[in-house]
């Protein structure tokens, strides 16, 4: 009985304990699992024709040029010499060598430096002056000056003087046995000229022909006055034109008179002209000794053709022409130009000039004189009479 009671007591107590535990507050650790669902679009490769637009991206590269200011060398320095240009009216070699003599003399007189050149034609000489307006000097004839003045404003500094004269003329030269007795007899005859830009070689004879109603035949452009004289001498044409300077008379008793004296008055001596070692052409000796000095264009080639005076003659001469110029580019500094002209005047009075522009083989100058632009109006008139424009000679 006692054992059964004890067992019941034990069971009862156990149940009571369970009730107490169940009724007591308890802390419970709960773990919550959260599941996030994300919709993922999985690409499926499918062959579909889709228009493709191609966008071209142009990258513009900007080029930046850095302008560097460089100080220009002074005019007349060794780095920037003054350009001296001559028309090719006589032999180029003679111009170049004589031009160097002149350049050296000018350098000594002014302290400036000069560079000599001979362009290929009258037109090329003018274009050179216009292309270099602030550093160029041109030894150009009257028509060349007018053309250059019209083209770009080239200015005249001085005119040449030959034995006291500021003028010259053009001569018509024919073979000695030519039947021509007057200009009218040159109708249809072949004509040698130095250059279409030559005042004495083409412009003035053309104006005279037009005034007289004479139409010459074929024109042969020879390239220089010397070549024109040799052209008629060698039978390449029936007549030729070139510059004429009057002869110096015996004992310098008087000057040859235009319109009165015969252009070949020296033939009265009955002796042929002879060229001496100094390049001067005399008839019966020096004028100081009672002879004549011949100065027309044939004297420049009498070494090449010693008998040219015996085989050719002057048929006529034109009206007087203003002498050749020393001209300056339109922007050439005036003070510098005046200093150079003064130095040139001194040079023409020196012995060295005989090896340069004072030589018979060169320009045969003996001095310079100041002139203005109006001095060349007769040349403008001749051009206007013929309707010659700068475009005719120089092109557009």
pLDDT value, residue 392 = 82
Vertex 393, ends 390 and 396: CA angle to 5°?
A: 60
Helix axes 377-386, 142-152, angle to 10 degrees: 80
Q: What is the structure's pLDDT at 361?
A: 84
Distance CA 327, CA 375 (A): 13
pLDDT number for residue 141: 93
Predicted pLDDT of residue 127? 95
| Domain 82-164+323-394: assigned CATH number | 3.40.190.10
d(C-alpha 373, C-alpha 206), whole Å: 23
pLDDT of residue 65: 53
Helix spans in 220-266 (H)? 225-233
Task: For the chain, give every residue range classified as CATH 3.40.190.10.
Answer: 82-164+323-394, 167-245+299-321
Provide the Cα torsion 282, 286, 287, 289; round to 10°: -140
Q: What number of residues does the chain have? A: 396
Pairing of strands 325-328, 191-193: unpaired
**Which structure tokens are listed for 57?**
């991206």
pLDDT value at residue 142? 94
pTM for this one? 0.74
Burial class (CB in 10 A: 0-12, 13-18, 19+), 341: middle
pLDDT value, residue 66:
55
What CATH number labels 167-245+299-321? 3.40.190.10
Tens digits of pLDDT across the chain (396 residues): 444 444 444 444 443 343 333 434 444 444 444 444 444 444 444 444 444 444 444 445 555 555 555 677 999 999 999 999 999 988 899 999 999 999 999 999 999 999 999 999 999 999 999 999 999 999 999 999 999 999 999 999 999 999 999 999 999 999 999 999 999 999 999 999 999 989 999 999 999 999 999 999 999 999 999 999 999 999 999 999 999 999 999 999 999 999 999 999 999 999 999 999 888 999 999 999 999 999 999 999 999 999 999 999 999 999 999 999 999 999 999 999 999 999 999 999 999 999 999 998 899 999 999 999 999 999 999 999 999 888 888 876
Write down the pLDDT at residue 50.
Answer: 43
């Amino acid at each position: 009985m006692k054992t059964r009671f004890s067992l019941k007591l034990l069971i009862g107590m156990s149940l009571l304990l369970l009730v107490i535990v169940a009724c007591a507050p308890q802390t419970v650790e709960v773990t919550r699992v959260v599941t996030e669902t994300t919709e993922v679009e999985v690409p499926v490769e499918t062959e579909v024709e889709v228009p493709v637009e191609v966008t071209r991206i142009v990258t513009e590269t900007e080029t930046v040029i850095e302008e560097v200011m460089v100080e220009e060398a002074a005019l007349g320095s060794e780095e920037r010499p003054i350009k001296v240009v001559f028309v090719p009216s006589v032999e180029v070699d003679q111009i170049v060598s004589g031009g160097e003599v002149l350049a050296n003399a000018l350098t000594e007189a002014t302290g400036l430096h000069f560079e000599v050149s001979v362009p290929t034609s009258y037109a090329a000489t003018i274009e050179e002056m216009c292309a270099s307006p602030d550093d160029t000097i041109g030894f150009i004839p009257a028509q060349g000056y007018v053309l250059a003045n019209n083209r770009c404003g080239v200015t005249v500094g001085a005119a040449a003087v030959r034995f006291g004269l500021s003028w010259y003329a053009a001569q018509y030269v024919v073979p000695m046995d030519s039947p021509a007795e007057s200009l009218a007899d040159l109708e249809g005859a072949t004509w040698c000229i130095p250059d279409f830009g030559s005042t004495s070689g083409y412009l003035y004879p053309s104006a005279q022909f037009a005034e007289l109603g004479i139409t010459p035949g074929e024109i042969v452009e020879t390239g220089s006055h010397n070549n024109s004289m040799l052209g008629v001498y060698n039978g390449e044409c029936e007549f030729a034109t070139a510059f004429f300077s009057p002869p110096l008379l015996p004992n310098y008793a008087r000057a040859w008179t235009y319109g009165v004296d015969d252009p070949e008055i020296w033939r009265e001596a009955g002796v042929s002209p002879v060229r001496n070692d100094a390049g001067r052409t005399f008839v019966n000796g020096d004028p100081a000794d009672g002879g004549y000095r011949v100065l027309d264009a044939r004297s420049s080639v009498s070494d090449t053709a010693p008998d040219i005076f015996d085989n050719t003659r002057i048929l006529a001469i034109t009206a007087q022409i203003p002498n050749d110029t020393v001209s300056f580019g339109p922007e050439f500094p005036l003070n510098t130009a005046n200093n150079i002209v003064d130095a040139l005047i001194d040079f023409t009075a020196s012995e060295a000039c005989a090896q340069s522009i004072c030589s018979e083989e060169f320009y045969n100058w003996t001095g310079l004189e100041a002139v203005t632009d109006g001095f060349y109006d007769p040349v403008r008139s001749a051009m206007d009479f013929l309707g010659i424009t700068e475009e005719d000679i120089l092109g557009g």
